[in-house]
Amino acid sequence: MPDERTTPRGRFITLEGGEGVGKSTNLALVVDHLRACGHEVVATREPGGTPRAEAMRRLLLDPDGEEPLDQDAELLLVFAARAQHLARVIRPALARGAWVVCDRFTDATYAYQGGGRGIEAARIAELEAFVQQGLTPDLTLLLDMPMAAAQRRLEGRLKGQGGERDRFERERGTFFEAVRQAYLARAEAAPERMVVIDAGAGLAAVQAELLARLDERLEAWS
């Protein structure tokens, strides 16, 4: 294992936003762009990213049957999956100098479990400190658009896949609006790290803006 004190670590970039805003679509673009710049890139996602963390993802996303998932259990599962992901994938990649691009990370916890479920931010912050030990993304690209339009996109994708809605996708509009507002509040509080992208435009325009903002950051880091 490389020595974290002497090896320059790679960069950690996250994509965030509500359901259907285009995170998966744009993650591929970011990864291709960074690879074209010559970086080793690890593309991953949360919850998940390792076999055990993916098993925890299934527990989180499986629709509630006879036994609804308690919201504190949900929060702890999110952080259990994150601890596994950090230990097995994210920290080793960063330590060897690779760049990590992750579809969702802890901002999602503040947005979904904090904004959506109403869990106090201070409680989330305690778990964040315990699990992450100070590791936070270098850059977060927040894809933002009105909730109703994102829901229409999501419906289009679900129809195409013949897919059922997962446990979060079954939530009500008020939940998603609270998630969106919590994301925007976090972006306002951390403007250096979080860049808000207007995800409501056509794909070409969204991708042009995203690459322009990413290139600004790459320039600043070089």
Ligand X SMILES: Nc1ncnc2c1ncn2[C@@H]1O[C@H](COP(=O)(O)OP(=O)(O)OP(=O)(O)O)[C@@H](O)[C@H]1O
Residue 48, marked binder: no
Residue where the block lists tokens 């690459």: 211
E-strand ranges in the chain read 12-16, 41-45, 99-103, 139-144, 194-198
The residue type at 179:
V
| Shortest Å distance, C-beta 47 to ligand LXEULUCI | 5
Residue 19, marked binder: yes
Q: Does 96 engage in binding with ligand LXEULUCI (CB under 6 A)?
A: no
Distance CA 41, CA 214 (A): 15
CB atoms within 10 A of CB 204: 8
Question: Given the rule CB under 6 A, which of 18-26, 55-63, 87-95, 108-116 is the region that contacts ligand X?
Answer: 18-26
Residue 222, marked binder: no
- Angle between helix axes 71-85 and 51-61 (nearest 10 degrees) is 160
Q: Does 124 engage in binding with ligand LXEULUCI (CB under 6 A)?
A: no
Burial 182-194 (b: 16+ CB within 10 A, else e): bbbebbeeeeebb
Distance CA 222, CA 214 (A): 12
Residue 24, marked binder: yes
Question: Given the rule CB under 6 A, which of 12-20, 47-55, 122-130, 132-140 is the region that contacts ligand X?
Answer: 12-20
| Nearest CB to ligand X, comparing residues 94 and 154 | 154
Residue 130 token pair: 């315990």
**What residue spans of 37-70 are helical by DSSP H?**
51-61
| Nearest CB to ligand X, comparing residues 25 and 132 | 25
**Cα dist from 148 to 92, 113, 151, 164, whole Å:** 39, 20, 5, 19
Q: Quick one: which of 30, 46, 91, 187 contacts ligand LXEULUCI (CB under 6 A)?
A: 46
Q: 78 touches which of ligand X, ligand LXEULUCI, none (CB within 5 to 8 A by kind)?
A: ligand LXEULUCI
Q: Does 47 engage in binding with ligand LXEULUCI (CB under 6 A)?
A: yes
R_g over Cα of the chain: 17
Question: Given the rule CB under 6 A, which of 63-71, 105-113, 124-132, 191-199 is the region that contacts ligand LXEULUCI?
Answer: 105-113
**Cα dist from 56 to 84, 211, 213, whole Å:** 10, 32, 33
Residue 22, marked binder: yes
Q: Does 104 engage in binding with ligand LXEULUCI (CB under 6 A)?
A: yes
Q: Which residues participate in the annotated binding site for ATP? A: 17-24
Residues that bind ligand LXEULUCI (CB under 6 A): 19, 46-47, 78, 103-104, 108-109, 112-113, 168
What is the binding site for ligand X (CB under 6 A)? 17, 19-25, 153-154, 156-157, 202-203, 206
